Structure 1
Amino acid sequence: MTSSLSIKKLCWFAAFTVLIVSSNILVYQLEALQPVTPAVAVGSLLDFIVVIPLLTYFFVIRKRYSLKYIPLVAIVGYGIAHLIIPAHHLTSYSFLRYILFAGEGAFLLVELYILYKIITKIPRVIRSFKSQTNTLTFEQRLESSSAAHLKSSRILDVYYAELAMVYYSLFSWRKAVSPAPLQFTYHQKTSMIALYVMLIHAMVIETVGLHFILHSISPVLSIVTLVLNVYTVLFFLAHIQATRLCPFTITQHTLHLQVGLTKRLTVPLSEIKQIVRYDGPERLSKQEEKTVFDGLAPDFIREKPAFEIEFYTPQQAKLMYGFTKAITKAHIRPDDPEAFYTALTKKLKEFQNL
């Protein structure tokens, strides 16, 4: 990834995509717009297999990710179009289905091959995973145990992210948070958990209501929406658990910062230039945000960071699904700022005297 993906571009992309999808749904559902001509169906197909992929390229993929994702977006777009456009309008364009399905089949074969390679090496990966009984987080243990047996790839990163989400959302609730002298929580003095509980509550209510409304329009679309909403709820639960179970950690040689499921940073102590009390603006400029690791827990009202940690050279922060971000500073707000500051400065002095 050569440049970071800004929230502004994501918002524009989401807005245009929602506008295209919703307008096409209305065209086929509103009685005032009936009857729909074949030309309208052609326009809808172009929206989903040409316009949306182009929007994806300009707002998401350009100068960041491989062009190989464009055909996958077109395939997904055709699938959505098939759910929205009445079947009798698509009979004249059935050849598009075979072209896109051929591309999907090739992509699926690649995924199946990678999955086969993973399955054949799973026993060795599991043995390596179980042998690591130190304080590494679930993600670190998973990546460390698989690195010796599997070649790194973006698809593997996606599998790791999904596996971490399943683990934290469903199987980590009995895991106790064991306090340690060099581990520091960062969420207990915020309303982060209350915020996500509120979002989960709203999502459940919205899911029930929307499911029944969409079911009368399109049963398939209602099921797809239900699956996406359930996935979102699982993500929120996993994010809560990952935040609880993965505090900021200072080891003998590194500083590990993790913010739930969304981002993490492991930086050698030798790369830390200084830690200072933050005295900057509450909101950074767009340019500054690109090079700063935001280690604050989400909250109803955002507080200023307590500390700014500066590095000698740019460090690589890991985001979900294998995306990365080059950063030169980290902004954090631990629950016990004085204890964290004392522990890190002491560790840096010890490391420098070695």
Structure 2
Amino acid sequence: MPQIIGNILAAEISVVYYGLFNWRKRKLKENEFSYHKESTANSVILGFLLVIVVEAFVTHSMIKVGNSKGTFILTTLSIYTFLQVLALIKSLSRRPVFIDLKKKQVVLKFGILANAIIPFETIKEIEVSTKEFSEKSPIKYFSPLGSSSGHNVIIYLNKNIKFESFYGFKKKATSLAVFIDAKNDFVNLN
């Protein structure tokens, strides 16, 4: 099947998997790092979840009076959107950042929304930093939530890399701002 269809299908399967089936907690293994415990990402995503619940209730109540088909469609869309956001929250703790010493690469993840594989030889410097930067800066947020999820590590690269966003969309960056809970251990391991 074409790559774009495969990417969309994989994203939808991961939503169902993390939203409905994967309920066990995952312990971090050696060279794995969480990014969800101390960042603001969970708060931002939980805020979206609250908005979805309120919006679904209000929309359902308003449309219920007039159009039953419209009510059913909007309620179904709200439930699926709730499932997508729930899957995202759960995937944050189950898809950690990983430093693969055998393959000499850093595997960055942001739940089901973003993936990047950065070979060691493309890393120029890793800096512990929470400094602000403009949108015109060559530093890009790895999180699709942008600056609202925060950052405490900046990975400077010596060349452009491509990384995947949700549904397989590609993005380019020469420097990435990420959030790592154990930032000092992460920097020292590289």
TM-score (norm 1): 0.49
The correspondence for 1:226, drawn from 54, 71, 75, is 75
User: What is the aligned partner in structure 2 of residue 164 from structure 1?
Assistant: 14
Q: Which of 137, 158, 161 matches 1:315?
A: 161
The equivalent position to 1:269 in structure 2, one of 101, 117, 120, is 120
Larger mean CA deviation between 196-205 and 322-331 belongs to: 196-205
CA distance in 1, matches of 2:139, 2:153: 12
Aligned counterpart, 1:332: 178
Contact kept, 8 Å, 1:169 with 1:234, in 2: the verdict is yes
With over 3 angstroms needed to count, the CA separation of the structure-2 counterparts of 1:223 and 1:283, relative to structure 1, is farther
1:254-313 CA distances to partner (integer Å, 9 max, x unpaired)? 101111222111111121122123364x2422x33xx5442359599654x322111122
Equivalent pairs, count:
188
- Conserved 8 A contact 1:184-1:335: yes
Q: 2:39 aligns with which of 190, 213, 236?
A: 190
- C-alpha separation in 1, matches of 2:80 and 2:53: 11
Matches within 5 A, 1:198-277: 198-252=47-101, 253-277=104-128
Gaps of 5+ in 1: 1-113, 115-151, 345-354
Provide closer, same or farther for how the CA distance between residues 209 and 244 of structure 1 changes in structure 2, counting only shifts above 3 A. same
1:278 aligns to 2:125 (yes or no): no
Separation of aligned partners in 2, 1:219 and 1:181: 53
The higher radius of gyration belongs to 1
Structure 2 residue 141 is the aligned partner of structure 1 residue 294? yes
Q: Which secondary structure state, in structure 1, belongs to the residue aligned with residue 65 of structure 2?
A: helix
Higher relative contact order (CA 8 A, sep 6+): 2
- 2:184 and 2:172 map into 1 onto residues whose CA distance is 28
Structure 2 unaligned regions, length at least 5: none
RMSD of aligned C-alpha atoms?
2.4
- TM, length-normalised to structure 2: 0.87
Identify the structure with the greater strand proportion. Answer: 2
Aligned-residue offset at 1:224: 1.7
Asked if the contact 2:127–2:155 (Cα under 8 Å) also holds between the matched residues in 1, the reply is yes
- Structure with the largest fraction of helix: 1
- C-alpha change, 1:221 and 1:245, in structure 2 (3 Å) is same
Does the CA contact (< 8 Å) of 1:192 and 1:300 recur in 2? no
Task: Give the aligned residue type for 1:203.
Answer: I
1:342 deviation in Å? 0.7
State the SS of the aligned residue for 2:39: coil
CA contact (8 A) 2:114 2:143 kept: no
* Cα offsets for 1:10-52 (capped at 9, x unmatched): xxxxxxxxxxxxxxxxxxxxxxxxxxxxxxxxxxxxxxxxxxx
Distance 1:223 1:312 in 2: 52
SS at match of 1:204: helix
SS at match of 1:329: strand
Superposition deviation, residue 210 in structure 1: 1.2
Relative to structure 1, the CA distance from residue 312 to residue 192 in structure 2 (aligned partners, 3 Å threshold; closer, same or farther) is closer
Would the aligned equivalents of 1:190 and 1:297 in 2 still touch at CA under 8 Å?
Answer: no
Separation in 2, partners of 1:154, 1:301: 28
